Structure 1
């Protein structure tokens, strides 16, 4: 049993989107702990937000389970290169795809590029997200509202649409939702609203593509210790992050990876339209 850090954490702030090297305490993405067993041998995955946090942990786990990986990220080149090196150390191919997935054109580009570099993509992990805190509705600009939807839900539609036409039977789409889809934090209103949309998108798309043999599921994390936290939350919220959950702490990214591996592996062939909650004991739906 790992003894992971508990709050209070040191006061800290970062500029968005944040870097893993500045997290205090450091996050555990499974760099030293994940041991693969060939559960995803021969798979080819595209992971958005793959440079850090949950995306980095999923990339490490997928590679050590036998998958080649394409990593989409905004501009965190150093973190992305570090994640890519871990994928390559596992003996797998890695493609880096920087750019803004809020653009439909960029989503179509990375879908095409990942396929050209790795072959047919059969696992899509829609994980990238944007969030920001707001004290009141008046503080949320029209642009901020649109930007959150562009990154968090519109990109899922663009990428799914671009890849589903070429995905073979047995392929998988995994969307990152949140406990906010069930218990919305009012200070994260745009983010929480998109997470509710993701759950509905997952359930509807799962039904729409079932006859193609494609499965669609979501993971709903509780608090997770990633660069998103100090780059989007107040110092006081960062200091106490995860303290109000039953385990008294946030998850480390590696603790989410097993859910994504389970959903991606062929043995989960009847699991579709599901939301896997990873909340440290907090009730979900």
Structure 2
């Protein structure tokens, strides 16, 4: 559906289905994008895995490993493959979360990956800016996505998701996050490096 929307707007979209926890796929994803698009101007990492578990005892080794493979290792593999193709003026945008600062006790694996992404991105920004490549982060607050309705949060609290955490009394819609990514990918943010842009409806975050 998304590819169709992009194509109807007169742009190019290439679908590359696969498993982000597979390092070879992540490399092939970048190679395909470079070939199909004629190069790379921006790398945006938004994929994530989030599964609610009420206790540490119920958080399995397999889930912990899969969450890190999806949220952290895939991001690392994609960026590492992409950097040789990025010219000065290019950007990398990673997705953290408010849980990088205030981890939920029932999403220990997910929250810790977001802290890792935030920290990794800030260090990488300093490494790449001499080459003219900017790295920044978007940290969303509660946002309605497929993660929430597939046991990303406690099913009993799902109807009230985001209503008590944000100053606006509700969770965000994905379209409300998109402008943050567009800004960080554009020349309008040419002096923004190593920053985390919080889009969270007024939550108290660093």
Q: TM-score, normalised by structure 1?
A: 0.70
Residue 252 (structure 1) aligned to one of 173, 176, 201: 173
Deviation >4 Å, runs of 4+: none
For 1:94 and 1:157, how far apart are their aligned partners in 2? 23
For 1:223 and 1:267, how far apart are their aligned partners in 2? 26
For 2:40 and 2:134, how far apart are their aligned partners in 1? 14
The match for 1:238 is 158
State whether structure 2 residue 33 is matched by structure 1 residue 114.
yes
For 1:135 and 1:183, how far apart are their aligned partners in 2? 16
For 2:157 and 2:17, how far apart are their aligned partners in 1? 30
The match for 2:49 is 130
Matches within 5 A, 1:197-212: 197-212=116-131
Unaligned runs of 5+ in 1: 1-81
CA deviation map 1:104-126 (0-9, x unaligned): 11100100011111111110001
Residue 268 (structure 1) aligned to one of 156, 181, 189: 189
For 1:96 and 1:238, how far apart are their aligned partners in 2? 31
For 1:249 and 1:267, how far apart are their aligned partners in 2? 29
Give the length in aligned residue pairs. Answer: 204
Higher relative contact order (CA 8 A, sep 6+): 1
Alpha-carbon RMSD across the aligned residues, in angstroms, is: 0.8
The match for 1:140 is 59
The match for 1:177 is 96
The match for 1:283 is 204
For 1:214 and 1:90, how far apart are their aligned partners in 2? 28
Report which of the two has the higher share of helix.
Answer: 2
Provide the secondary structure at the position in 2 that maps to 1:186: coil
Provide the secondary structure at the position in 2 that maps to 1:273: coil
Quote the offset at 1:235 in angstroms. Answer: 2.7
Provide the secondary structure at the position in 2 that maps to 1:173: strand
Residue 192 (structure 1) aligned to one of 111, 131, 134: 111
Quote the offset at 1:234 in angstroms. Answer: 3.3
The match for 1:162 is 81
For 2:46 and 2:155, how far apart are their aligned partners in 1? 25
Matches within 5 A, 1:36-47: none
Quote the offset at 1:237 in angstroms. Answer: 1.9
Quote the offset at 1:166 in angstroms. Answer: 1.3
Unaligned runs of 5+ in 2: none
